[in-house]
Amino acid sequence: MIDRLTAAIREKENPTVAGLDPTLEMIPEFLRTRYFSEFGKTAEAVRKMFTEFNRHIIDALADIVPAVKPQIAMYEKFGVEGLKAYNDTCEYARMKGLIVIGDIKRGDISSTAAAYAAHLGGAEADGRRLETWKEDAVTLNPYMGSDGIRPFLEICRREDKGIFLLVKTSNPSSSELQDLMLADGRHVYEAAGALVEEWGREVPGSGKYSRAGAVVGATHREIGEKLRKQMPHTFFLVPGYGAQGGTAEDIAGFFDSEGGGAIVNSSRGITAAYQKDSAFGEKDYAEAARQAALKMKEDLRRCHV
């Protein structure tokens, strides 16, 4: 996964991952009206509109961005119907040649972690493999330690998948636990980062970076620069650019000296661009997303070479 991801970033000259985090507020009125009148005020209607919306966005982005990151919570909100839209979105994006990073932030122990690992490795029914989920990589929470990560490492190795562990998240209250100072002079996020580097050794890629990446928020400039030095083999998935306030200057130091080592997420900034730019009507939402993604690509040139 990590080799494919770095190659795709190079080929498209764009370290952007487009977040596919649909909400009803983001869906154009004409789509909402169409599906709510045909299917009632149901989760099925929501599934249909999320699926259609995402497919058009993916079509508009497929030649520009290397990867998409659907946030599973937005789909899970609408129960199993919503999760069908999540699966369809992952599958469609893969078919279009995009790498799919499922933002699932799961975390549990031993046999339970192994069950969650079906997101990457599938399940088995009486000897037959079921591909119950469709991601190439997923985000995970490290709070429970290596017991919860090891089942994923195995699958990363066996099937060339990837994981991204939460190290320093972009939100203000990430400080409450992650920034606490340890007796040995490190912060908690540095201890988490050290674990990720260590886990990464078990799943090397063919280049500098391992298949175990880290989530490091764009909103913490100095921390990102410091972690870049402390975690030389760990690829960064960077949320918090744009809507949350992170700028291209803020994240320049998240990249390595060759301009690699990180991919930057934008969600609403791309998918809801039509709502912010009066040049676009609501039927032009996919084209608006494409233009926003191109603008972001240009903006990121300022920081990653």
Which 119-178 residues touch a copy of itself, going by CB under 8 A? 123-128, 130, 132-133, 141-148, 166, 169-178
Least distance (Å) between residue 68 CB and a copy of itself: 16
30 is a contact residue toward a copy of itself (CB under 8 A): no
92 is a contact residue toward a copy of itself (CB under 8 A): no
Q: Which residue in 23, 63, 157, 279 binds a copy of itself (CB under 8 A)?
A: 23
Nearest alpha carbon to residue 204 among 152, 153, 264, 168: 153
Least distance (Å) between residue 82 CB and a copy of itself: 7
Q: Which residue in 82, 102, 193, 224 binds a copy of itself (CB under 8 A)?
A: 82
- Range 196-204 contact pairs with CB under 8 angstroms and sequence separation of 24 or more: 196/142, 196/165, 196/167, 196/231, 196/234, 197/230, 197/231, 197/232, 197/233, 197/234, 199/146, 199/149, 199/153, 199/165, 200/233, 200/234, 201/233, 202/153, 202/157, 203/153, 203/156, 203/157, 204/233
Least distance (Å) between residue 8 CB and a copy of itself: 25
What are φ and ψ of residue 33, in 5° steps? Answer: -60, -45
Torsion of CA 16, 17, 22, 26, to 10 degrees: 0
By beta-carbon proximity to a copy of itself, the closer residue of 8 and 195 is: 195
By beta-carbon proximity to a copy of itself, the closer residue of 33 and 298 is: 33
76 is a contact residue toward a copy of itself (CB under 8 A): yes
By beta-carbon proximity to a copy of itself, the closer residue of 44 and 287 is: 44
Q: Which residue in 182, 201, 283, 302 binds a copy of itself (CB under 8 A)?
A: 182
By beta-carbon proximity to a copy of itself, the closer residue of 173 and 257 is: 173
Least distance (Å) between residue 305 CB and a copy of itself: 30
Nearest alpha carbon to residue 135 among 104, 167, 166: 104
Considering only 9-17, 71-79, 89-97, 274-282, which stretch makes contact with a copy of itself by CB under 8 A?
71-79
- Residue 18 CA: distances (Å) to CA of 9, 189, 217, 263: 13, 25, 15, 10
Instruction: Considering the candidates 12, 96, 105, 295, report the single residue annotated as catalytic.
Output: 105
Does 161 qualify as catalytic in the annotation?
no
